[in-house]
Amino acid sequence: MPETIYVEALRALADHQGDAYVQRRELHLAAVRRYVAKLSFGAKLPTLTEIAADLCTSVAYVAAALRTMDLLGEVVHGNKGYRYRLRPQEQHPMDVGLDKAVREGIRDGTHQSGTALPVGILAQRHGLAIEMIPRAMRALIRDGLVADREGPAGRAFYVRDPQDAVLDRIRLSPRSS
């Protein structure tokens, strides 16, 4: 899902700036991903300058790659050097408030089954840019509470029926012998 947003952004850049530019960004993203993959989960990332020097590239390309990886939930790339590698399925610290608010809203009936979540309002309320919403919704989707689908409000994040979520968990749980 966030991967789709990134691909669409790359296509827009290709239309605007040419394929060579996009290919360079993709190559730098792949190089930074390989670099980060060598670090242990939870490890603090080196500075942008250190990564750029190790990869023989510019700080701007490293920063762009880390921003993309942050949007995809692979690293935390914050201000003031707050950067580290996330574990698989680990929730980004910026997403915790929104996740908690949506879960609470579903539980108390504020967000009704079948309705689209007001992502713009939620993003603003929790200090997230709108492009961070897909990353923030991953745990809710994984837990069967929200679905990213086409619906009455167009493509959106819709609250799922709680019974469907329970049935999904039963269907997907390993069978005991």
As to burial, measured by CB atoms within 10 angstroms (0-12 exposed, 13-18 middle, 19+ buried), residue 129 is exposed
pLDDT of residue 171: 62
pTM of the entire predicted model: 0.75
Distance between CA atoms of residues 30 and 91, nearest Å: 22
pLDDT of residue 82: 78
10/145: higher pLDDT: 145
pLDDT of residue 2: 45
Checking if the pLDDT of 22 tops 90, the result is no
Q: What are phi and psi of 117, to 5 degrees?
A: -75, 140
pLDDT of residue 166: 59
- The neighbour count for residue 121, using CB atoms within 10 Å, is 9
pLDDT of residue 174: 67
- Please name the helix (run of DSSP H) or strand (run of DSSP E) that holds residue 125, with its range, or none: helix 119-125
DSSP conformational letter for 127: T
Q: What is the pLDDT of residues 31-61, one digit of tens each?
A: 999 999 999 999 999 999 999 999 999 999 9
Q: What does pLDDT average to over the chain?
A: 85
Domains of the chain: 2-85 (1.10.10.10), 93-172 (1.10.10.10)
Checking if the pLDDT of 5 tops 80, the result is no
Query: Looking at residues 96-106, what average pLDDT do you find?
Result: 95
Q: What is residue 156's three-state secondary structure?
A: strand
